[in-house]
Amino acid sequence: MIHTCGHKIPDSDSIVAAIAMAYLQNKLGNEAKAVRQGDINPESQYILDKFNLQAPELMTSFSGKDMYLVDFNNYTEAPEDLKDANIIGIVDHHKLGGLVTAGPLDCWIRAVGCTNTIVKEMFDYYEVEIPADIAGAMMCAILSDTVIFKSPTCTKVDTKITKELAAIANIEDFKAIGMEMFKVKSQVEGVPTRELVLRDFKNFEMHGTKVGIGQLEVVDLSIFDDIKDDLIADIEALREETSCDTVLLLLTDIIAMGSQILVATKSLNEIENAWDIKVQNDQFWLKGCLSRKKQVVPFLEPQFKK
């Protein structure tokens, strides 16, 4: 049995890619099951509900299991016992993260905006038709990861494949569905601040320094006005609890095209030098910043070189 699985604190790309990859593997004659490492976030639940798809099964231990990794290829976002699992494949759109495998594997890694873009290419390569419900979910995952094509990670391949998936799912106004998803993401009232911080949170090892970066993508930053101080206090508490040097939380406004970045750090100079800015009241505005992968990590990581 192959377990198709995305990263810890799964986002929509991880959840949908696991579902789509399990379907593809089964069609290729390989028994497979979609699983997940963490809870379903509100946006992913919206996608599952919209297309009547079942959530992948929660699974946290993979020792001795066959795994096909989707949307990650590093130990930081992997299950704790990944080294005891058998990695048979990877499909991902991130930089290489240092995994070591015991044998050869099926590996599809491309510099595109979403893992589901690559999964669609795999369906095409193997000449397997995509069911309408899975195609619709894959389309939504690409719209999410590319911020409806606004992210600098978005490529022409992503936009082309989104349109192809929309046609399969018989969806005309796919951008309207994208906006619906981001409105779901913007619903923060009554949600505990820790849950918000961890909703889309990733840990990084930057030259021996532990850094955590979360991101909340919304259509209007004013929704954070009453809770911003609480979010700042919470990321500082999280930094101490996890022995991180730095924890950042990106409050990303997809309409204004930028991010208010909340800061908890022991390395203020490194943060300010990364973007030539001044942190005031534990925060700063980064115009045009929509992507953690392209506009935050590559600027911050070099600052921690010893």
**pLDDT by residue (tens digit) across 52-106?**
999 999 999 999 999 999 999 999 999 999 999 999 999 999 999 889 888 899 9
Q: Residue 74 in contact with residue 93, Cβ under 8 Å?
A: no
Q: What is the pLDDT of residue 189?
A: 85
Q: Residue 11 in contact with residue 41, Cβ under 8 Å?
A: yes
CA dihedral of 164, 55, 11, 96, whole degrees rounded to 10 = -80
Mean pLDDT of 4-31: 97
d(CA 224, CA 228): 5
d(CA 220, CA 255): 7
pLDDT, one tens digit per residue, over 269-287 is 999 999 999 999 999 999 9
CA dihedral of 234, 48, 223, 272, whole degrees rounded to 10 = 50
pTM recorded for the entire structure:
0.92
d(CA 262, CA 117): 31
193-304 and 2-183 share a CATH fold = no
Q: What is the pLDDT of residue 97?
A: 87
Q: What is the pLDDT of residue 75?
A: 93
Confidence check: pLDDT of 306 > 80: no
Q: What is the pLDDT of residue 262?
A: 98
pLDDT, one tens digit per residue, over 163-211 is 999 999 999 999 999 999 999 988 888 899 999 999 999 999 999 999 9
**Residue from 47, 7, 31 nearest 165 by CA:** 47
Q: Which residue's entry shows tokens 């101490």?
A: 240
Enumerate the domain spans of the chain.
Answer: 2-183, 193-304
Cβ within 8 Å of residue 146, ≥6 positions away: 113, 114, 153, 154, 158, 162
d(CA 113, CA 93): 7
Q: Which residues of 213-250 are buried (b: 16+ CB within 10 A; e: fewer)?
A: bbbbbbeebebbeebbeebbebbbebbeeeebbbbbbb
Q: Which residue's entry shows tokens 């001795």?
A: 64
**Residue from 115, 53, 64 nearest 87 by CA:** 64
Mean pLDDT of 281-303: 96
Q: What is the pLDDT of residue 185?
A: 87
Neighbour-count burial of 103, counting CB atoms closer than 10 A to its CB (0-12 exposed, 13-18 middle, 19+ buried): exposed
Q: What is the pLDDT of residue 273?
A: 96
Which pLDDT band, with edges at 50, 70 and 90, does 223 fall under?
A: very high
193-304 carries CATH number 3.30.750.24:
no
Q: What architecture is the 2-183 domain classified under in CATH?
A: Alpha-Beta Complex (3.90)
Structure tokens at 185: 């993401």
Q: Three-state SS for 3?
A: strand
pLDDT, one tens digit per residue, over 247-266 is 999 999 999 999 999 999 99
